[in-house]
Amino acid sequence: MLFFLDNWQSAADSTHPTLAATNRARPRRFALARRPVPQRRARGLNENYARELMELHTLGVDGGYSQKDVIEVARALTGWTMNPRNGAFVFRPETHDAGTKVVLGHTLPAGRGIEDGEDVLDIVARHPSTARFITTKLVRHFVSDSAPPALVDQCARVFSKTEGDIRETVRCIVTSPQFFSRAAYRAKVKTPFEVVASALRAMNAQPDTTARTAQLVARLGQPIFGRQTPDGWPDRGDAWMNTGAILNRINFGFALANGRVPGASLASWPYADSLGALGHEQQVDGVIATVLGGEVSPVTRSVLVSGENPMLSKYGDNRDGPPPSGLRQILGLALGAPEFQRR
């Protein structure tokens, strides 16, 4: 983040003293033991790192901070840079703003160095908005996109009481009635990464050392490390599901069942032999039990029995060759079923 958000180039502006300049102005008996580093040409204050620290990782965009707070945090983080040769963190006093700062009502005295940034991290970590923001993300991930407000409030108090203990916060969430409620069951849509990972796991696939699996994730809409904005990939179903995305997921299920994905084949599926000798509807019931947790809607079961997905016949075709038949067909349709597309 220091690099991508340009904080490694952020320096005190000309209206504020730097720490190195402050130290040089002191009487010799108070000077630092080491020789001061020569003042570098000022590059100016950069607010990117400070803004993202509060907006995306702690308080949240509506967390109660102001533009003034952004500037003050950016000033506190001047001098937080890195060694360009190896990426190691470096604090450079000659670029650090040594003036007094006020961050979210907390005064940071003048004349300090790296302590300014460390205090900022403590201030934002303990802020009530941070507890609520992080807890909301956790509740949204583990329970539902709506993030029930009552559960958020309850577990945000745990977050604050335990000074940000994520384990205890998650414990509060996963032991709550909301987590075990019927409304939360299969409420979350899998991201493309989760779809591919869970499908490969369901097929007992071997690890893929090629780039093909990563390309499959990208084809479903989530290229690994490919998010262009610093907020990260969304954790809401509406960001992933549309007609095109559904078709791609169904086609991926067929490709996997057809053995077109490295490391996965019907032969490696633990239930292939036992189900292969059964009748068609018994195979459907077996796939429902082993892949879909034993519970599907009547519509999904009828699709598995008929072997035809109405989405494909209405909107698209199979890009990975002809649809499979027999047990492969049932398995491919199951991997593309709504029940499998949800956690």
Give per-residue pLDDT as tens, 234-248.
Answer: 999 999 998 889 999
Look at residues 39, 66, 56, 41 and name the one whose alpha carbon lies nearest to residue 4. Answer: 56
Q: What is the dihedral of CA 181, 192, 140, 234, to 10 degrees?
A: -160
pLDDT of residue 114: 96
Predicted TM-score (pTM) of this structure: 0.83
The alpha carbon of residue 286 and the mean position of all alpha carbons in its chain are separated, in whole angstroms, by: 34
CB 95 within 8 A of CB 125: no
Look at residues 325, 310, 192, 157 and name the one whose alpha carbon lies nearest to residue 254. Answer: 325
Give per-residue pLDDT as tens, 7-53.
Answer: 999 999 888 888 765 555 444 433 333 444 444 444 689 999 999 99
- List the structure tokens of 91: 């604090």
For the chain, list residues with pLDDT below 50. 25-42
Distance CA 195, CA 14 (A): 52
pLDDT of residue 308: 82
Distance CA 16, CA 150 (A): 45
pLDDT of residue 1: 85
- List the structure tokens of 3: 């690099």
Residue keyed to tokens 């203990």: 165
Q: What percent of the chain has pLDDT over 90?
A: 74
Distance CA 39, CA 14 (A): 12
Sequential DSSP letters for 39-68: PPPP-----HHHHHHHHHSSS-TTSS--HH
Please give the DSSP secondary-structure letter assigned to residue 18: B
Distance CA 132, CA 152 (A): 7
